[in-house]
Chain A
Amino acid sequence: MTIGKNTQLLLEVKDLRAVLPTRRGMVKAVDNVSFRLHPGKTLGIVGESGCGKSMLARTIMGLLPARSIVPSESTVNFKGQNLVSMKKARLRQIIGREIAMIFQDPMTSLNPVMKIGKQISEVIRYHLKVSRRTAHKRTVALLDLVGIPMAKQRANQYPHQLSGGLRQRVAIAIALACEPKLLIADEPTTALDVTVQAAILDLLASLQEEQQMAMILITHDLGVVAGRTDETAVMYAGKIVEHAATNELFNDMRMPYTHALMAAIPRLANPPHTRLKTINGQPPNMVELPPGCRFASRCWKAQPLCLENEPALKRINGRRHRLACWYPLNSRKSA
C-alpha cells in the first residue's frame, strides 16, 4: 500500500465546501474537506445519515441542487483539471465518461420505461460516438461482465422485470460503460439483501482490479468498508474527522466518534443480550453549528477547549493518519 512519489494523483480534493440553501437557512453540508486519491485505489467514506457523505460525492460530480454555493477556493482536481470552475459543457465530457457514479436505489436511478439495453447503449453512443451496432455489442458484453445471465435477452427487458440485485448490476454496467477512471459508489448495496450485497461488493472489487479504476465507496456501514478499501475517512457533521489506511484505522482508532460508532455495532462475536454502547445526544443542527468541535456535546472526553475551538484535521506522528481532535484516545500501538 506504499505509494511511490512519482505515482500520479488521480483526484485531489482541497478545501471543498458546499453550502445548500434550505428553508431553515444555509446548511454547510460539506465543510473544508480535503483528500487525495491515486489510480486503482479505493477510499471509503463512512458516516451516519446527514453527515454530508452523499453531498460530498455530489459536489465532486457537480450534481448539487440548484442555488447551492461552492466557494471558488474549493478545488476538485481531476487529472490536472479543476472540476469546480469548469464550464458545464466541458464537465459533461468528463462526468459519465471518466467519472461515473452509482446510487443507492437502482429502481429510481434507472428509467422505468426504457429497456435496460437502451439505457446502457445510450451512454456509450453519447460519449464514444460509435454506431448503434457497436454500442449494442458492447452493451451485451457489459451485461455479461457484470454477471447478468442471458445478457442478450435481458437487454430487451425493462427495469421492473429485474430483481433489486440485477438492477444494481445494470446500474454498474451503465457506470462502467465508458471505462471510467474513477467510480463513485454512493451506498451501492444499502437497499440489497446481505447475500446480494456480498456478491455486488465482490463484483465491484474484481472489476476495479481488472480496469485499474479508482473508487470512492460511500457507506454508513463500517463492515462494508473493512476489507474492501485501502483508506477510510470518517465524516461527522460535514467534516472529515479521521482518515487513515483502513487497517490502521480499525486497529488504532483515535477519534472518540470513530470509536463510539464502532462500539455501537452489534458484533457476531458477542454472546446474545450484550448491552451495546451508545452515543448520547444527537448530531448538531447543521444550520447553527456550535463554535467548537462538532462532536463535543456528545463526547465523553470533551474539555472546555473542545467547546470553544474547533480542532483542525492534522496528521499525527508523521504517519498517513489524519485526525481532528484536541484530546485523541491513546494509541494502542505506542507503549
Chain B
Amino acid sequence: MLVSIEQQEKRLKNGKLLTVNDLTVEFRIGRRRKMEAVTGVSLDIGIGETLGLVGESGCGKSTIARSIVGLQKPTTGEILFAGQDLSQCTNQQMKKIRPQIQMIFQDSVASLNPGRKIGKTIEEPLRVLGLANRRERERRANELMQAVSLDPEQMYSRYPYEFSGGQCQRVSLARALILNPRLLICDEPVSALDVSVQAQILNLLETIKQQFHLTMLFISHDLAVVKNISDRVAVMYLGNICEIASAEDLYRSPRHPYSALLLESIPEPDPERKQQKRDAINGEMPSPVEPPPGCRFHTRCPNVQNVCREFEPKLVGFDNEGKVACHFPL
C-alpha cells in the first residue's frame, strides 16, 4: 500500500506533497452570523520540506491544520494530498490516506488518555486500523519508543500522569509515527514546554524527520522556534497569509510590514538590543468576526495609504518563490 503511494509521489510533477488551494473555513456564530477563520489561503509543501506557519492567536493557523487532517470541513477550496483532492475521496480512499497525515498537539498531556498505559496508547492506531496482531503491535511500539528516546522496558506500562510534559510530547510523537505517516503536522508542539525541554523536542523532531523521511507543517507563534526548524515560513494574519518566503529570506528582510512587526517584537536574550526603539504598535488584532475592509492589517500598519483601506492586496510572488500580500512591500 505504502509503495504505491511513493510511486504515485514520484509521478507528481511539481514534487508537492500537499497543496492547499483557496481554502476558506467558516464558523457559525449565533443564529445568522458567520465568521471566516481562514479566508482564501493557498499554500503548498514540497516532499521532505518543513513549512513553518506563524501568526498570533486567532489568526487561523490551527484551523488550517485541522482542515488538512480532516477534523474541520472546509467551506470552500481544495486540499490536495499527493495529488488527490481530499474532498473528492471516497471513504475507502480516505482510509488509506488518513494514516499518512498525522498530527501532534500543543497540550501533550491532554492529548493522551489518562487511563491508558502509554504503550497501549502508542500502538492504538495499529489496533484501530487492524494492521497488526498483538505481538507485532508491541514490537512496533517498542521500536518507536526507542526512536523518541523513551525506554520501553521502564515506560511501556506506565500512565501519563507519571510523565512530564516533554515526555508526554514524545509519547504523542511516537503514536503519530507508528503508522509511518508522510506528513506530520505539529500544532504548537513546544509552546507549553520549558526552554531546556523545548530544545530537546526540537532536536528530536529534526532527527525523526530525517529518519522517517517526513514532510512537516510546523505551527507556532514563536518566530525563533519556527526559524530554527523550517525551510520556508508562512506568516498569517486574521485568516490570510501575508507573506511566504524561505526562512532565511523572511528573517533577513521581511517584505510585509506585519512580518517586520512580529520580528521586532521578539524579546531576544541580548541586552545590547535594548536601545533599539521599536515603533509604537498601533493597537491589537481586530476581531476576526468583523475584519477590516481592504488590507486586513491596515488598522495597525505604519505605512498605510488610502488604497490599503479599500482594496485587499493579492499574494504575489517577488523572487525565489517568496510571495507577499501588500500594496507597498518593504
Contact = CB atoms under 8 A, between A and B. Distances in A.
A266 interface: yes
Contacts of A221: 195, 267
Interface residues on B, range: 35 or more
B267 A224 contact: yes
A288 interface: no
A198 B164 CA distance: 30
A223 B56 contact: no
Interface in B194-246: 194-196, 198-200, 202-203, 206, 221-225, 227-231
B147 interface: no
B223 A247 contact: no
Contacts of B263: 268
A195 B262 CA distance: 6
Among A195, A226, A268, A273, the most chain B Cβ lie within 10 Å of the Cβ of: A195
Contacts of A49: 194
A194 B194 contact: no
Given A194-B221, A195-B265, A272-B229, A220 B195 contact: yes
A194 B227 contact: no
Contacts of A267: 224, 268-269
B32 interface: no
A139 interface: no
Q: List 6 tightest A-B contacts by C-beta distance, closest first.
A: A223-B267, A227-B274, A276-B199, A264-B199, A193-B56, A198-B265
22 contacts: A163-B285, A195-B262, A196-B284, A197-B267, A223-B267, A226-B267, A226-B268, A226-B271, A226-B273, A227-B270, A246-B271, A250-B270, A261-B196, A264-B199, A266-B198, A266-B202, A270-B227, A272-B230, A273-B228, A273-B229, A275-B206, A279-B199
B248 interface: yes
A166 interface: yes
A7 interface: no
A265 B266 CA distance: 13
Mostly, the B contact residues are helix
Contacts of B261: 195
Interface string A267-309: 1101111111111001000000000000000000000000000
B307 to A, nearest CB: 24
B135 interface: no
B281 A282 contact: no
B179 interface: no
B186 to A, nearest CB: 14
A265 B265 contact: no
A313 interface: no
B255 to A, nearest CB: 17
Contacts of A261: 195-196
B265 A197 contact: yes
B77 to A, nearest CB: 26
A70 interface: no
B271 A227 contact: yes
B278 interface: yes
B301 interface: no
A276 B268 contact: no
Contact of B248 (A193, A226, A271): A271
Contacts of A151: none
Contacts of B253: none
Nearest to A166: B284
